[in-house]
Each structure stands twice: as C-alpha cells, then as structure tokens.
Structure 1
Amino acid sequence: MQHGKLFLFLLLLTVSTHPLSAQNAAALKLNLEDLFEMAEAKNRALKISDYNRQLADAAVTDAKKKALPSLEASVSASYLGDGWIADRDFSNGLKAPMPHFGNNFAIEASQVIYAGGAVDATIKNAELGEQVAALQKDNDRQGIRFLLAGYYLEMAKLENQKQVLQNSISQTQKLLEQINAKYKQGLALRSNITRYELQLKSLELNLVKLENSSTILNSELATALNLPKGTTIQVDELQTIAPNYQADPNYWQDLAVANAPVLKQLDLRAEQSKNQETLARADKKPQVVAFAANKLDGPVVIEVPPLDKNFNYWYLGVGLTYNIASLYKADSRVNLAQLSMQKVLEQNELVKDNLFQEIHAAYIRYQETFQVYDTHLKSQELANENYTVIRNRYLDELVLITEMLDAQNAKIDAELQAANAQINILFSFYNLKKLTGTL
C-alpha cells in the first residue's frame, strides 16, 4: 500500500512539472542574427522562393535536353479488310482479297543541326531565368529580414516603454505614500491624493496596452518564423552604432551597385529581352535537320495482288526546311522584340533612379536619427532635473500638485522619446542595408 502511494505521488509530480517544462521551452531569447538564421530555415515566403529557384533549375535541364537528338519508336498491329478494284469509270468492279493481318514497326532518330540560333537562345533564356530566380530569393531574403528587424525593434521599443512606465508607476506609488502621510498630518488635500490615484491608474492602463501590443507583435514575429503558437520571443541586447559609421553617402550607393539583387536582376532581364530578339530573328532562317530511320511493314500492299510478306527498309539523310511565310510574318515579331527591349532598358534606368533616390533619402534620415537621439537625451536630462526640483518643492508645499503632474508627465515622455530614438537609429540603419542588399 505504501509503495502504491509513493508511485502515485511520483506520477502526479511528473505530470504537474511537465507543463512548466513545456512553457520554459516555448520562451526564446534571440538576437537579430538568430532570427535571420531561423527565417532561412523556417520562413514560408523564403521556402516558396527556394521552390521557384528549383523550378528554374529544372527549366534549364529541360531546355538543354531539347537540344539532344530525338528518338521515336512505334509498333502497331492491324486488321486489313479485302480490297476492291475497278476501272477508272468505276465499272467492272472486282473484289481483291487481302492478307488480313497487318503489322508495322518503326524507329526514327533526328537531330537539329542548325535552327538560326533558336536552340542556344532558348537554353540561354532558361539559364538567365535561373539566375533571376536566385537573385529574387536574395531580394526576398532582404525583405523578410527587414520585416523581422521591424518587428524585433518595435518589440524592443515596447520593452523600453514598459520599463519606463513600471519605473513611473513605482515612483508614483512612493509619492502617493508620501502624500497620504501628509494628508494624515493635515498638510495635504484629499484632491491631491485623488489626482495621483488617477495618474497611477492611467499609467497602469497604458502598461496593459503595451503588454497587449507586445503580445500581438510577438505572435506576428512567431508566425513569420513559422514557430509553434504560444512561443514567446524575448529581445536580446541591441547593437549600438556610432554617429560617424559610414558617413559617406557615396558608400551606400556603391554598396548597392555591388550587392543589390534588384540591380543585378536588371542586367539579366535586359539580356533575356535581347535573347527574345534572337528567337524572333531565328524564324527568318532555315532549319537543318539530320535524320535516320528503320521501318518494317507487312503486308506489301503496293503490289496487286498484295504480297503477304514483311518489307524492311532504312534510310538516313539531311533535311532543309524553310518557312516561306516568315518573309512577311517574322519582321513584326522582330520589331516587337526590339520595342520590348527598349522598354526593358528604360524601365531598368527608372528602377535605378528610384533606388538611388530611396538610398539618398534613407541616408539623410539615418543621419537625422543621431541628431534626434542627441536632442532627446538632452530633453531627458532636463526633464529629470525639472522633475526632481518640482517634486522637492511640492513636498515642501511650494508648488501646486498640477505642476507636479506636469513635471512627471514631461519626464515620462522624455524618457520614452529617448529610448525610442535610440532604436530608430537601428531601424534607419537596417533600412539602408536592406536597400543596398546587405542586410
């Protein structure tokens, strides 16, 4: 009986501690590099991009196989009915007996020797498509990483704001204790206590809103990483960036020219368009094909009466075909390909101009974030000094409680602005890296 109770106790202990272990396992403290590595393996959008790249690889293999010789084999068996023979005016008709079993076997091989460059252009287009797909995955990777960085930095902002509010709540509670003590001594009004109780409730409500926003962002980040529902992601320490880091605006444009997947895709799309013109011109050229075949037919029906025998023959040779209609059809396709290429080249220049303008604007905003941060740091310092002075004067009954509330609100706002300004530096920095393809 005692052994049974001991077993039951151990079983209950195991069951009761299991959810705690699962809960601990669902909490992850990650930095941005961890998120990027996890997204590489788990993000659904990147998986789709990888499938597109694999499809492009398969298209290259398929295009190359089209350049190989074609080989066809056929075999058939048939029932032949009796024939009928008559004069040219259909008089004097007679029944012509036929061997009733017919058979055919054929094997034929052919190889395109020359097609005006169409075969090579088709293979080249497939290879360019493979490179475009690989670059598109790189571009998608940059977008996903920037999305994750945005979620992550926003969560860091919320954590900073929660710390500021928690500190403010703690200070407000201590101040309430002091005001209550003065109220009991008859040195403070009940309305002063009420105002600070309202202030405390307001701070607590804002803290609840921040918690809810953090929960929503955490869920979105977990979904982007394809993590199980309920996974909690905790923000690790963020890097700091010096104000003079890559302060040369030309650095970022040069970096984009060397690395941005969007710019690399432009050259490939122009080359694809050029190949389309090659394909269009190939229609105006003859096609040369080498062929060989071996056939076995029976019976021999070209004789009258038919011969109930098998007839085997083979042949090989070279054929030349030319589509005469291309003389008046191909020119329009060539003109269409040329216009398409001019359009692609113009679009490429437009994309380049827009990207460089985005980089220029992002660089200016990036430099601005340092100035904003310095301003908010100074504002925070002044707000803290002002709050300390007003608080002491209030406790000495030299100022009204409204001034105390204003000073506290200014202090909270300055602390939040300073915390957010530091994170905005990182956001602007990651935006530049995303635009240049180096995130």
Structure 2
Amino acid sequence: MFGMAEANSRSILTYDLAEKEAEQAVKVAKNALLPSVDVSLSASYLGDGWIANRNFSDGANASMPHFGNNFALEASQVIYAGGAISNAIEMSKLQLQLAKLDKEKNRQEIRFLLVGNYLELYKLRNQVEVYQKNIEQTKRLLADINAKQNEGLAIRNDITRYELQLKSYELALTQIENSQIIINNQLITVLGLPQGSVIDIDTTILNNMPGMEDEALWQQAAGELSPVLKQAKLGIEHSQINEKIINAERLPSVALVAGDHLDGPITIEVPPINKNFNYWYVGVGVKFNIASTFKTGKKAKLAKLSTLKAIEGEKLLQENIQNDVKAAHVRLAESYTIFDTQKKSLELAIQNYEVINNRYLNELALITEMLDASNSKLSAELQVANAQINILFNYYRLKKATGKL
C-alpha cells in the first residue's frame, strides 16, 4: 500500500513538485555568483540642432549628421557583498530541506491514513461477520417460534419482538457495508486503483504482533527522526541566516566592472563630428546604501526577535512531541491490557457456550439460551481480534509520533 501511494497519491505528487521547485530555486540563487553582462545596440535618426544665445536670441539651425548609432558592452562581477549572496544561497538550500521535510511529513500522514482505513476495514469485516451470524440465528429462532405458535406454545408478541430485532440487525448490517464501501473508495483513490476495485484484508497480520519497547527508545527516535522537529530546527537556521542578510545591508558591495562603447556621430562638439568614437574601461565599483545606517537597525532587531521566537517554538514543539510519544506509548500498553482482558472474556464465553450446548443437547436449555451463548462466544472472538487490531493501530500511531512510519 505504501509503495502504491508513493507512486499514485496526488498529495505526495504535489509535495514532490514542491521539492523540485525548491531545487530549481537553489540553482536560481546561485546565478548571483555569475558575472552580469549587458549588451545594447541602437540606430537612430538625428534631427538638425539649434544654437542660440543664453537669452535665446539670434537662434540658428545647425546641420547634423542624420544617422546615429550606439553600441555598448558592459560586464560586472560582484566580489564582495557582505555575505548577502552566499547567505541567500544558504537560505534557498534551507527552503529545499524544508520542502523535503514537508514531503516526508505528508508521506507520514498518508501512510497513517492508509493504516487507519485498512485496519478499520478489518474491524468492519468482523462486524459484518457478527451481524450475519446474528441475522442467521435470529431467522432460525423465528422459524422455531413460528413452529411453536402453530402448536399453541408461543404468542404473536414473541414473533413481533424478534422480527423487530431482525430488522434492526439488517439495518445495522447495511450501514456497516456502506461504511466499507466508503472506506474502500478512499483507499483505492489514494492508491490510484481503478474505480470498482475492492481491497481485501490480509488476516495473517494478526499473527505477528509488535512487542513493547521502552518509552525512552521511542523518545530518542522522535528526537532524531521527527520531520516536524527537524523543520523547527531548520526554522531557527532560517531566521539566523535572515539576520545575516539584513546585517549585510550595512556593508558596501564591491564589483569588478568592464565595458566598451562605440558611439557615433560625436555630438558633444559644435559642429558635430561625423565619426565613430570607441572607448573602453575596466575598474572597481563600490556601492553603499547610506540609508541603511539608520534603517537596518530596526529590521535587524525584528529579525533577532524572529530567531528568538523560532528557538522558543522549537522547545515547545519538543515538549509537544514528547507528550504525543508518551500518550501513544501509554495507549499501546493499554491496548495490550485490553487484549489480555478480551482473551480472558473469550475463555469464559467458550466455557459458557460448552455448558449451555451440553444442556441444550440434553433438552435442559431453551434455544434462546443457546443462541445467546453462541452470540456471546462469537462476539468475544471478534473482540479479541479487534483488540489485536487496536494494538496494531496504536503501534503505528506511536511510529507516526516518532516519525518512523
């Protein structure tokens, strides 16, 4: 089931795409390490100029070469940005790790959903068996009472009472079968199976029941494996890197620059010179945002508070996970106790059935007593099976709480 869900679940597919998106974001962030190259080319028509005195008197037209051209090539490479680029890359890598943990967390949720539905189908299957047996026995009892009424040994009220009971059993059976259809449909949807597929139950899973391990081992596993806890730890790193990026705004950025320009005509001369003029340059550029000296402080304080909040959130989450593991471990131990109790109840039900059966064979007990004893035995058998199913469910719930499912 888990393998089919990995391949077909739309939920897992969505998180898989989110992981790939985060991987691409890392590549995009690394682009900031590459040089920047700008190329421009233009051709234009230049109109005649106009020359006049400063008071705009004695104006006259000045002829111009009418074809203008411009070509520019500029390249720059940032060599220092106060850690802004490297920290931005680290930030994107953290986002990738968070996306992977989101996917893992979703995988755990899907698996627990599958386990819960699968074991619920098992219980419903047992309930169907109980009600089918009860319906069968009630019909036998009705036939027996009808025969006695014909002999004048029973009254109509007895028949009516058991007919009502039969209808009640049939209605309950219909509701259980409908629940089976609903849960089965949920399972085949998650697993990507064709509509109309029916999930059968492997009854041999009750042959290998999990053992009880010390709670400390589960708590240790939760601390190491829980994807939720890992996300909280990454959240702290995320906030710390964000602090570094904000503090980098206070530092200058340094870049190597180089360029080449080809312009024509030369219009800064009067009259203009109808020739091309080419020049190139290399150098170092320094840029500093003066406003950052009084703006960044508040942002840095906000980022620091975010980090402190993330740290406290991680501690709170640790406590919650420890409580969840504790509760799941207690419930697992409790389910073993319930199982032992149900086994004892089954022993008593079997003893009672054997006694009533012997009395019935010797015509010392009524059929109603026999049917009650049979129902009690059947119910006890199924309660034992359901108790085992509950052990499995609580075991998987404990695994989910630790992040091991």
**Band of TM-score, shorter chain:** over 0.9
Residue aligned with 1:296, SS: strand
How far apart, CA to CA, are the structure 1 residues paired with 2:350 and 2:206? 24
Matched, 1:319 2:288: no
My pick for the range that moved more, 289-298 or 77-86, is 77-86
Task: Name the counterpart of 1:364.
Answer: 330
How far apart, CA to CA, are the structure 2 residues paired with 1:37 and 1:54? 20
Q: Where do residues 258-277 of structure 1 align in structure 2 (5 Å cutoff)?
A: 258-277=224-243
Relative to structure 1, the CA distance from residue 290 to residue 357 in structure 2 (aligned partners, 3 Å threshold; closer, same or farther) is: same
Matched, 1:207 2:173: yes
Structure 1 unaligned blocks of 5 or more: 1-34
Relative to structure 1, the CA distance from residue 331 to residue 44 in structure 2 (aligned partners, 3 Å threshold; closer, same or farther) is: same
- Structure 1 residue 260: Cα displacement: 1.4
- Structure 1 residue 357: Cα displacement: 0.5
Task: Name the counterpart of 1:10.
Answer: none
My pick for the range that moved more, 172-181 or 322-331, is 172-181
* Pairwise CA RMSD: 2.5
| AA of the residue aligned to 1:41 | A
Residue aligned with 1:316, SS: strand
How far apart, CA to CA, are the structure 1 residues paired with 2:249 and 2:157? 92
Matched, 1:216 2:155: no
Residue aligned with 2:268, SS: coil
Task: Name the counterpart of 1:432.
Answer: 398
My pick for the range that moved more, 138-147 or 402-411, is 402-411
- Structure 1 residue 42: Cα displacement: 0.5
- Structure 1 residue 306: Cα displacement: 0.5
Residue aligned with 2:102, SS: helix
Relative to structure 1, the CA distance from residue 244 to residue 310 in structure 2 (aligned partners, 3 Å threshold; closer, same or farther) is: closer
How far apart, CA to CA, are the structure 2 residues paired with 1:339 and 1:242? 51
- Structure 1 residue 383: Cα displacement: 3.2
Task: Name the counterpart of 2:9.
Answer: 43
Task: Name the counterpart of 2:268.
Answer: 302
2:221–2:402 Cα contact (<8 Å) kept:
yes
Matched, 1:64 2:30: yes
1:284–1:327 Cα contact (<8 Å) kept:
yes
My pick for the range that moved more, 373-382 or 320-329, is 373-382
How far apart, CA to CA, are the structure 1 residues paired with 2:178 and 2:231? 41
Structure 2 unaligned blocks of 5 or more: none
- Structure 1 residue 206: Cα displacement: 2.2
Task: Name the counterpart of 2:79.
Answer: 113
| AA of the residue aligned to 1:113 | I
My pick for the range that moved more, 308-317 or 80-89, is 80-89
- Structure 1 residue 175: Cα displacement: 4.5
Residue aligned with 2:297, SS: helix
Residue aligned with 2:194, SS: coil
1:243–1:370 Cα contact (<8 Å) kept:
no
- Structure 1 residue 188: Cα displacement: 5.1
1:241–1:426 Cα contact (<8 Å) kept:
no
My pick for the range that moved more, 218-227 or 243-252, is 243-252
My pick for the range that moved more, 299-308 or 158-167, is 158-167
Residue aligned with 2:206, SS: coil
How far apart, CA to CA, are the structure 2 residues paired with 1:241 and 1:228? 30
How far apart, CA to CA, are the structure 2 residues paired with 1:244 and 1:208? 34
How far apart, CA to CA, are the structure 1 residues paired with 2:347 and 2:321? 39
From 127, 134, 142, the equivalent of 1:168 is 134
2:15–2:103 Cα contact (<8 Å) kept:
yes
Residue aligned with 1:303, SS: coil
Residue aligned with 1:239, SS: helix
From 287, 297, 300, the equivalent of 1:331 is 297
Task: Name the counterpart of 2:41.
Answer: 75
Residue aligned with 1:318, SS: strand
Relative to structure 1, the CA distance from residue 402 to residue 173 in structure 2 (aligned partners, 3 Å threshold; closer, same or farther) is: closer
Task: Name the counterpart of 1:31.
Answer: none
| AA of the residue aligned to 2:109 | G
How far apart, CA to CA, are the structure 2 residues paired with 1:319 and 1:406? 95
Matched, 1:99 2:65: yes
1:81–1:98 Cα contact (<8 Å) kept:
yes
List per-residue Cα deviations over 1:182-205 (Å, max 9, x = no partner): 556665555545544443333333
| AA of the residue aligned to 1:44 | R
Matched, 1:130 2:96: yes
- Structure 1 residue 430: Cα displacement: 0.6
| AA of the residue aligned to 1:50 | D
| AA of the residue aligned to 1:124 | E
Query: What is the count of residue pairs matched by the alignment?
Result: 405
Matched, 1:234 2:182: no
| AA of the residue aligned to 2:29 | A
- Structure 1 residue 266: Cα displacement: 1.9
1:52–1:133 Cα contact (<8 Å) kept:
yes
- Structure 1 residue 181: Cα displacement: 5.4
Task: Name the counterpart of 1:90.
Answer: 56
- Structure 1 residue 143: Cα displacement: 0.5
- Structure 1 residue 114: Cα displacement: 0.3
| AA of the residue aligned to 2:345 | S
2:139–2:166 Cα contact (<8 Å) kept:
yes
